[in-house]
Structure 1
Amino acid sequence: MALFSRVLNKTRQQFADAADNNHDDFAALEEGLIMTDTGAGLAARLIQEVRDKDTSKPPAALLADVMAAHLRRLEASLTLDGRKPFVIMVMGINGGGKTTTIAKLCRWFVTRNKKVLLAAGDTFRAAAREQLGEWAERLDVEIITGVGDPSAVAFDAVRAGTARQCDVVLVDTAGRLPSQTHLMAELAKIRRAIGKSMPGAPHELLLVLDSTNGQNTLAQIEAFQQVAGVTGLVLTKLDGSAKGGFLLALAEKMPKPVRFVGVGEGADDLEIFDADAYALALSGMNSQYST
């Protein structure tokens, strides 16, 4: 609860401003949902669910319960299934926090006694390779780099991960916009190369999303899904987003599992998504109202 109360500060302020601190006013609560990028239609349906509940709870507390029920569709933590190495391909648009997220994921697995290998598959941006290399040194993990074909880097990394008996191989890819058709097609090529190196891989296709983009992220999910497939999401920059309600739209329209949320710039600032805590923080209600 405390965690999301901190990172959702801007979203909660939007909600409070719209609701004018009147948590007993259904219209104000609906406006608060709209202001946090839930969407008008969904906001109306959520408030109707609240109205239909026969209980003495305050409306805002009921809304927290309703939101939590919807958000639970997104709960599904990342679990290694015994395949070794477990290959994770990480994708995202430019500037979304992808490389930093990979470092955090690396730290997550290392602290759980997993042997990790990094693949610097962003061969277009030298700064990305350098940044990932610095994290590899800091976290004391090996890294495979290259300056040419990113598919070749990914292929070599998976082969190396297998030979070195690594538990996890994290494959970085260059940031790209869905409108960049040739770069999007390259993702499919990288995925095929990984599959040739290890049949059945990649085992997880993680899409990193910038939470400040709100519902615009839904179009990104659809575009990456069509090209390479998406099995899980990582949400970044929740601390700077005033659009935290977009997760409710995500849960309704395309409920992809939210594996992690980024809550800061540090290596340890990665948390498992918790629907109940998120809903309580979004509504501004105390944990005493949770179900």
Structure 2
Amino acid sequence: MDGYLGIIVIVAVIAVLAVGGMFLLFRPSRRHAPPVRPPEAPIAPERERVVPPGVTEDDTVTTTVPPPARPAEPVAPPKPEIEVPPPSAGRLVRLRARLARSQTSLGKGLLELLSRDRLDDDAWDEIEDTLITADVGVAPTRAMVDELRTRVKVLGSRDHAEVRGLLREQLLAQIGTDLDRTLHTAPHGERPAVLLVVGVNGTGKTTTTGKLARALIGDGRTVLLGAADTFRAAAADQLQTWGERVGAEVVRKDEGADPASVAFDAVSKGMAEKVDTVIIDTAGRLHTKTGLMDELGKVKRVIEKKATVDEVLLVLDATTGQNGMRQAQVFAEAVNVTGIVLTKLDGTAKGGIVISVQRELGVPVKLVGLGEGPDDLAPFDPEAFVDALLGD
């Protein structure tokens, strides 16, 4: 019995060991942790394939396209440097050489004729023709010839100095040394002087306005400009350029604006800023257009609601001769012209227009233009003018 139990125990132990071995043999395997991936490399910028000239598609070169550049900030244009003009005093003396053409035809021509030993009727006819050709005018010419003939008979024999003195005296008498040629540009207390510049197209009116502003600033005045020529945008731009060069402010409006309103605003601003002188440039008027002349009168009336117009300067082209005289007469009827500005006097043999225009209008020549330079506008000096015509 005991032997039988022992056999049973042994069999049980073997069975247990067999089951355990089978468990160890077929148990599920342990899972391994996932492998650690290396950090990803940074993404390179996208590249563009570029095919240079002469390279095939297979030989393309890879290049990096840079990001677009930021647009540069706009740079404001530099302001023009403010110029310091020279004073106007003595300009006509300095510019006397510019009168060479008038000197040759009027001054030297008359001196040669009057210096002849014998002055017969033919010689006096030549003297008269010379004066008329120089635009002295018929009536002043006859007056001069009559006086010269009388004086020559009294003198008898004459040398060059006596003839020159005689002719100088007669020219000065016709030009007039007693006329008031003062340009009224000084302020009246709190109110600036107001100058109105008028004239037909092509006489150099806008340029004269700019040169006048420059001359006044050279004399120590403060100036404001009014661009009342609203029919031409170029006129306002031109005046703006003149003003910027010398530091003078310009009042302007859009093309086609009412000229009278521009003039009124300019005078108002001049009073507010206490400038010495306000200069108004008006549109070039065709003297045959009655409506335009009426408008010019309106500009003057509107200004006078705010201030007194101290000067009305009529700009005439000296090369136009007697045609300029007709223009002057029409303007004198439309506005009260106080002074004449003769431009282009350096380019004409008609220097005698100084005499005829004053005689016809009873208005003095106050300024003369003797070139295209910025400082070629000069106060008119009768003695310097006649001396320039006659030469040394």
Common fold: TM-score over 0.5: yes
Matched residue count: 283
Change (3 A) 1:17 1:273: closer
Residue 168 (structure 2) aligns with: 64
Contact persistence 1:16–1:32 (CA under 8 A):
no
Q: Does 1:46 align with 2:144?
A: yes
| Paired residues for 1:258-269 under 5 Å | 258-269=365-376
Structure 1, unaligned runs of 5 or more: 287-291
Residue 244 (structure 1) aligns with: 351
Change (3 A) 1:222 1:163: same
Deviation at 1:154, TM superposition (A): 0.4
| Paired residues for 1:266-281 under 5 Å | 266-281=373-388
Residue 285 (structure 2) aligns with: 176
Structure 2, unaligned runs of 5 or more: 1-91, 117-122
Contact persistence 1:68–1:278 (CA under 8 A):
no
After superposing on structure 2, the runs of 4+ consecutive aligned residues of structure 1 that deviate more than 4 Å are 1-5, 16-20
Deviation at 1:75, TM superposition (A): 5.1
Residue 79 (structure 1) aligns with: 184
Change (3 A) 1:231 1:21: same
Residue 98 (structure 2) aligns with: 7
| Paired residues for 1:162-173 under 5 Å | 162-173=271-282
Query: Secondary structure at 1:120's aligned position in 2?
Result: strand
| Paired residues for 1:131-150 under 5 Å | 131-147=238-254, 148-150=257-259
Query: Secondary structure at 2:113's aligned position in 1?
Result: coil
Residue 289 (structure 1) aligns with: none
Distance in 1, Cα, partners of 2:175 & 2:258: 39
Distance in 2, Cα, partners of 1:216 & 1:60: 31
| Paired residues for 1:161-240 under 5 Å | 161-198=270-307, 201-240=308-347
Query: Secondary structure at 2:340's aligned position in 1?
Result: strand
Larger Rg: 2
Distance in 1, Cα, partners of 2:141 & 2:376: 30
Task: Give the AA of the match of 2:163.
Answer: P
Distance in 1, Cα, partners of 2:325 & 2:250: 32
Distance in 1, Cα, partners of 2:182 & 2:212: 13
Deviation at 1:117, TM superposition (A): 0.5
Task: Give the AA of the match of 2:336.
Answer: G
Distance in 2, Cα, partners of 1:133 & 1:174: 15
| Larger relative contact order (Cα-Cα within 8 Å, sequence gap ≥ 6) | 1
TM-score under structure 2 length normalisation: 0.67
**How well do the aligned residues superpose, as a CA RMSD in angstroms?**
2.1
Task: Give the AA of the match of 2:183.
Answer: L
